[in-house]
Amino acid sequence: MQGTIAQDKFVWLIGSLCRINRIRRPLVTYDQMVSRSSRMAIAFVCALITACVTEASDDRWIEAGRAPLWPLAMSGEPLRQDGHWLYVRWTEQVQLSDGRVIVAERADQYLRVSDPGSGWGRGGWLYWRGGFRAALPEPMGRIVEWEGTLQPLVLDFIEGQIYFVGAVAARVGEDDWKLSRNERYVIFRLSVNGWQRVTLAELPRSSKPTFLADTREFFEKRKSLVPGSLIDLATKNQADSNSLLSKELRMIVRPVEQNK
């Protein structure tokens, strides 16, 4: 993942160079051929050097992206851009399986990425990591929190246990959590010692998403957030139902269901 940004920029550079140096008429002399070949070789070397320097810079961005999320997200405005990073924080209602509704604090972090085919300065936001905090009702009666390179999807009280499910949103999540290409979720169960990772088979089949899933589209449509604003259940349900969410974010997809 660490070289992806640099690779994207390098691909864009080479594509641009090829367009600039495309042969528009037959080469009729040896001097012309050498001249064009030399320019292409020099341009290629320059692009390679630029990509290497950029990759070193990208590594610094990535290391900065592993700093504790909450202090970064809680400083400044609820929707704040800091260089290549975008931080979003809000509160939302979460309905548990037993019908009770709790309030969770949430924070997301996005990384600015470029689109090699659109030119410099164009691209979008790549989901990097997320976190939440919530006070659980009785009989649990405790505050739980989590942050990491997963997109929070489920927080629920099912069959006497508290479960949290995070969805992999980027390659960095696959690497951090040692997932194969066909795995999408990381599941945790709360114990007296904190969150314990369990398998998808151990997650009750009644589990379904309880968090706002399509956060990027939701906040792109709302260019600003009011500090202390609460996203209620009706707003969440409407936002997710009107979005282009993948099946894996609309429901918990089991391996046997992925082939259907």
Same domain (yes/no): 18, 86? no
Show which of 45, 64, 83 is a domain's final residue: 64
Same domain (yes/no): 187, 73? yes
Same domain (yes/no): 33, 130? no
CB 47 within 8 A of CB 14: yes
Same domain (yes/no): 103, 140? yes
Chunked in runs of 10, what are the mean pLDDT values of the chain (260 residues)?
44 44 41 55 52 44 66 75 86 94 93 63 78 90 92 94 92 88 92 94 94 80 70 88 77 71
CB 240 within 8 A of CB 213: yes
Whole-number Å distance between alpha carbons of 196 and 63: 26
**Burial environment of residue 145 by CB neighbours within 10 A (0 to 12, 13 to 18, 19 or more):** middle
- Give the closest residue to 129 by CA, choosing from 44, 42, 188, 62: 62
As given in the structure block, the two tokens for residue 152 are: 């929070």
As given in the structure block, the two tokens for residue 95 are: 């309905």
**pTM score, two decimals?**
0.71
Please write the tens of the pLDDT for every residue from 30-76: 455 446 556 556 555 554 544 444 443 445 555 556 677 877 777 76
Same domain (yes/no): 170, 217? yes
Residue 141 has a pLDDT of: 86
Show which of 64, 79, 113 is a domain's final residue: 64
Same domain (yes/no): 195, 212? yes
**Between β-strands 230-231 and 85-95, what pairing exists: parallel, antiparallel or unpaired?**
parallel
Same domain (yes/no): 47, 102? no
Residue 203 has a pLDDT of: 96
Whole-number Å distance between alpha carbons of 212 and 142: 22
The structural domain count of the chain equals 2
What range defines the domain where residue 187 resides? Answer: 69-258
Show which of 64, 94, 109 is a domain's final residue: 64
